[in-house]
Chains A and B, each alone.
Chain A
Amino acid sequence: MTEQIKETLCRVTGDVLEKLAFIFSFPEEGSEDTDYGSSLAASVSFAGPFTGTLVMAVSDDTLPELTGNMLGLDDSESTTAEQQHDALKELINVVCGNLLPVISGRQSIFNVNAPQIITENIASYLQSISEENGQLRAFAAKLSLDGGECDILLFIKGKFPPEDTE
């Protein structure tokens, strides 16, 4: 199950990055350990047949290019921090919207909250998610981007998979 979810995380995230931000990505095998010091991260929580949180962290170096691509800007044009935050929130929103039906089935109904930029230390935030939720299952994948990395982490609370999807 873990490998299957990890593969799905890589596939869905890579597909969204390619179609929305015109950036190609490659799964990195066996290297989930990340120093999040030079990354910006966003989270989105959801509730439905199962509940949880999706976290996406993108290297600071890659985010301006990714944002510029989404906005259709020339290489010479720069992006603001607000635009970069908005771009990351939109990316995680689309990844989440595409991921949940793949995992849970297209008939499932999820309520997805508005994405949030993680303003605190990312490692501390991830630690707090683990501590706040009992029976938490975590799935992580890392994608290599041109000049950076993208980490995608799925935290699921409670029983997973739900009995009716098994």
Chain B
Amino acid sequence: MAINVLIVDDSSVMRAMILKSLRMSGLPLGETHQSANGQEGLETLNRHWVDLVIADINMPVMTGEEMIDRMKEHPEMKDIPIVVISTEGSETRLEQLQRKGAAFIHKPFSPEKIRDTIKTIMKLGGSDDGTN
């Protein structure tokens, strides 16, 4: 199964770093889409089939947390797995995100951390090289 991924981050450099890490991870990548904020992310989700959302929290126009809330209200988006990659350090805020069903990766991250977190949240088995 190829995974279609949406990366939502206001930093183009960070989007490139996440994409590079995904390509290095050995996960079976399908289409990849990029958005610069939560609002653009929702628009992309309306236009494309996405299996996994990777999102930052602090973004202009619409935050990642608000985007997650909107996704949970939408019948066709509510079950899409979400991984939050952020600098957020407050345990209180992280617990809020986890209650919304999102997995969390703290910046700076390693490609291995991204791979392992995606495997867990998407319930992908198999070896570390991405084969099932």
Residues of A within 8 A of B (CB): 15-16, 19-20, 67, 70-72, 83, 86-87, 89-90, 93-94, 96-98, 100-101, 106-110, 112, 114
Contacts and interface: CB of A to CB of B under 8 A. Distances in A.
Given A71-B17, A94-B107, A109-B93, A86 B12 contact: yes
Dominant SS among interface residues on chain A: helix
Nearest to A114: B60
A92 to B, nearest CB: 10
A18 B7 CA distance: 23
Given A20-B107, A94-B108, A114-B60, A67 B90 contact: no
B16 A71 contact: yes
Nearest to B16: A71
A87 B11 CA distance: 8
A87 B60 CA distance: 17
B51 to A, nearest CB: 24
Given A97-B86, A114-B10, 6 more contacts: A67-B13, A86-B11, A90-B14, A106-B89, A106-B91, A109-B93
